[in-house]
Amino acid sequence: MKYSWRATQETMRLHPPAPGAWRQCIADISYSGYTIPKGWKACWVSFSTHMNPEHFPDPDKFDPSRFEGSGPPPYTFVPFGGGPRMCPGNEYARMVILVFLHNVAKHFKWSLVDADEKIAADPIPRPTNGLPLNLRPHSNE
């Protein structure tokens, strides 16, 4: 299910399920003209990382082909974080998402109840009405 996973990655790029995470500086560092002292906390934010046009040209466009081949460079696509504290559930999450997609696509024709339903971030992006769907089994067609 390579294309399904590429489409899922592109969905997570545009709507990262986790907004980011915190790190505590273990030494003074300088970054981009700012000094962050040892002991301070820094928050990395996945959404702004994912919208960098240097790595994702035309960043507002939904384009699963961005993940073809070797995909984006390391640490530019971080829905599961990165480094030693990267989400240990990422492969399990991939399997659950693909099993879900497979079953929905294989067994049902589905459509959105409200095609204009808004997404609100609190800060995790969620459909405002819970994304109600119409599901019709293929066997009924």
Q: Decide whether 82 or 125 has the Cβ nearer to ligand HEM.
A: 82
Nearby residues of 95 by Cβ (< 8 Å), 6 or more positions away? none
Nearer to ligand HEM, 85 or 118 (CB): 85
Nearer to ligand HEM, 57 or 89 (CB): 89
Residues near ligand HEM (CB under 6 A) are 17-18, 21, 79-82, 85-89, 92-93
Please name the residue ranges forming H helices in 20-139. 46-50, 90-107
Q: Which two tokens stand for residue 26?
A: 């273990």
Kindly tell me which of 20 and 59 has the beta carbon lying closer to ligand HEM: 20
Smallest separation, CB 111 to ligand HEM (Å): 24
- Residues paired with 137 in a beta bridge: 108
Whole-number minimum distance, CB 8 to ligand HEM, in Å? 9
Cα distances (angstroms) measured from residue 117 to each of 4, 98, 105, 112, 127: 23, 24, 21, 9, 7
Minimal distance, residue 43 CB to ligand HEM, in Å: 10
Minimum distance between the CB of residue 56 and ligand HEM, rounded to whole angstroms? 18
**CA–CA distance, 138 with 30 (Å, rounded to integer):** 58
Contact 1, 102 (CB under 8 A): yes
Question: Can you read off the two tokens belonging to residue 46?
Answer: 């996945």
